[in-house]
Amino acid sequence: MYKLTIIIPVYNEQNTILSVLDLLSFEEKLEKLPVQIIVVDDGSSDNTTELLRNGRHKDSKHIKFIFHKKNQGKGAAIRSAKPYIDGEYVVIQDADLENSVSDIPRLLETIQSECLPVIYGSRRLEPRNNAGPGNPWYFWGGQFITVVTNMLFKQDLTDAPTCYKMFRSDLFKAIPLKQSGFDFCQEVTAKIAKQGIKIKEIPITYYPRTKAQGKKLSWQHGIRALLTLLKMRLP
């Protein structure tokens, strides 16, 4: 059994996916652990699939590759990975370079030392991130979703839409996930909260990218996130 499973949903990230896998493979603190990586290519239409099938990581024994024939969404990719989770803990890692993989060991150390069921990495708890580059609409949209999440589910989060969400695997595998898109984040947070679990956060590093650099979120995703939260709040 692995100590940690890292799930990477991938869609059209030919410029970054191999770098992400390189960083994870050579992160010193992760090297010392038995780590499983599950990469789910969600029907990419660029060169991502070719890079995963034939790139330098194709024969890695600790990486499992799953390929969707068509694009289904981030939540669907994570659901595809769930049956193969073999780690004591599980974390979500995006396929871009917006987050620093060096934060994963800190998340793991905290969740273990404090015997937590779940921990989130907050971009907002690191002041440098709040003054950094990026589209202000993403920032304020994320803040709005966080406020609504806290109101509806009695949490004290500062960054509900964060990518870095780490769970005890038995808890995560027991959550019946249904959302297929980016609203996976709202669904899993709501279902954790409805179990009476208070979610702890620690600061993480964040390097936001622009639409031109491959950012995929839009205002439509914000509307879906809000609707998902409201739906999750219903009896």
CA separation for the pair 145, 44 (Å, rounded) = 28
Note down the domain range covering 12: 2-233
Per-residue pLDDT, 130 = 60
E-assigned strand segments in 2-62? 2-10, 35-42
Instruction: Tell me: pLDDT of 79 over 70.
Output: yes
Query: Coil, strand, or helix at residue 115?
Result: coil
Q: How distant, in Å, are the alpha carbons of 8, 45, 50, 64, 105 from that of 164?
A: 11, 26, 27, 20, 12
The answer to whether the pTM exceeds 0.85 is yes
The mean per-residue pLDDT over the stretch 136-160 comes to 91
Q: Give the list of residues 6+ apart from residue 54 with CB closer than 8 angstroms, or none.
A: none
Domain total for the chain? Answer: 1
CATH number, domain at 134?
3.90.550.10
CA 80 to chain centre: 14
Question: Would you give the end-to-end CA distance of the chain in angstroms?
Answer: 37
Instruction: Tell me: pLDDT of 15 over 60.
Output: yes
- What are the pLDDT digits (tens) for 165-193? 999 999 999 999 999 888 899 999 999 99
